[in-house]
Amino acid sequence: MNDETPENGSMKVIDGVERIFYDGYWIKRYHAPVDNLSDKKLLIQSLTRRLFNHMEHGINIPGRLLDKVRTDYEIETDPAKKRVRSAMLAGALFNRAADIFNELVELEACGVHIKPDNELMRTCGECLQEALELGKLARHRNGDEGIDELWGEPFKAFVMSIKDFYQSRYVKIALTMQNIDEVADHMIGCLRNNHAPQEMESKVRHYACMARRKCEILRTDSDIFEAWVEFVVAGEAITNSTAEQAASITKKGILDEFDTRYMLEQGVELIADITRARTSMPSSTKKYLSLCEQFKSRKQSNGVN
């Protein structure tokens, strides 16, 4: 590679793989499918399944129950319950949009041409837009935050061409990779603060590398099987090592060792969440970085440099 940083959107074949450059990362490139309602339906269905897979339980409400869920949401007065009901309403809206879109695709298959300004198309878009707004109050399954990007993806796939949607994906993946490396750097900072063996630092670097590889690969790509195995094994190499160290440590250093183990395991879990969601998680990351700073402060107060 040249010393100059490539421009975003630059393409290059690296080790036989076509890649595209965005914000410091060469990301595996995929060619967008044909832009029609049938392919857009499949894309939106895939994005919606992924959304519900990463969100809190109980919000995947069938579209046929939309009116009841909306009524319950509107009359709810308890703030905590209203937040949950807003997430449930967002889920019902997404599924209502999917129901409409499925019917439109069926009509198109019968030879009926569906124009973009069709009333049902407008209703579908309105459902997705409202779900996007309400979804900001829903939380990831780790309980720390919602992920606006996941709620926005089905809506973007609806309003954008498939080609433009695929292009926007690379920007999101680059931000995800930056988030993975940020968490890994703080894990390594905790290790160095505790004078941990260099071997563990290498394991963290390898885990971040496998996480970046996993998040760039589509689930429809056969490479996902190998990438998933490597990613899981890399994470287990860290958690298994910390468990072995904690079991063999003397009483004098056991608190420090368990403290370090906790920080590493929390980092492994956060990187796993980010990687599986394939989007950055700023609130969860901020919380973890705060824990890292507290960890370092405790070390300094105990006389460890």
User: How far apart (Å, rounded) are the C-alpha atoms in residues 46 and 69?
Assistant: 24
By the 8 A CB rule, do 31 and 19 touch? no
Residues 6+ apart with CB under 8 A from 205: 184, 188
Residues 6+ apart with CB under 8 A from 26: 12, 14, 19, 20
User: How far apart (Å, rounded) are the C-alpha atoms in residues 241 and 232?
Assistant: 14
User: How far apart (Å, rounded) are the C-alpha atoms in residues 134 and 100?
Assistant: 20
Residue 265 structural domain: 170-301
Residue 49 tokens, joined: 């399944």
User: How far apart (Å, rounded) are the C-alpha atoms in residues 149 and 156?
Assistant: 10
Residue 32 lies in a domain: no
Statement to judge: residues 45 and 66 lie in one domain: yes
Residue 241 lies in a domain: yes
Residue-wise pLDDT for 253-298, tens only, equals 544 567 778 888 999 999 998 998 888 888 888 889 988 888 877 7
DSSP state of 7: P
Statement to judge: residues 149 and 239 lie in one domain: no
By the 8 A CB rule, do 51 and 140 touch? no
Statement to judge: residues 174 and 297 lie in one domain: yes
Residue-wise pLDDT for 99-153, tens only, equals 888 888 888 778 888 787 888 888 988 998 898 888 888 887 766 655 666 777 8
Statement to judge: residues 123 and 234 lie in one domain: no
* pTM metric for this prediction: 0.78
Statement to judge: residues 131 and 222 lie in one domain: no
Statement to judge: residues 95 and 209 lie in one domain: no
Statement to judge: residues 58 and 113 lie in one domain: yes
Residue 273 lies in a domain: yes
Statement to judge: residues 177 and 280 lie in one domain: yes
25, β-bridge pairs: 22
Residue 165 lies in a domain: no
Look at residues 114, 135, 159 and tell me which one is the last residue of a structural domain. 159
Residue 55 tokens, joined: 């969100």
Residue 22 lies in a domain: no
Residue 114 lies in a domain: yes
By mean pLDDT, which of 83-87, 202-206, 231-235, 280-284 is the weakest? 280-284
Statement to judge: residues 175 and 297 lie in one domain: yes
Q: How many domains does the chain have?
A: 2
Look at residues 159, 182, 216 and tell me which one is the last residue of a structural domain. 159
Statement to judge: residues 146 and 234 lie in one domain: no
Statement to judge: residues 259 and 292 lie in one domain: yes
Phi first, then psi, for residue 78 (nearest 5°) are -75, 120
Q: Is the pLDDT of residue 303 over 60?
A: no
- Strand ranges across the sheet with 25-28: 11-14, 17-22, 25-28
Statement to judge: residues 174 and 152 lie in one domain: no
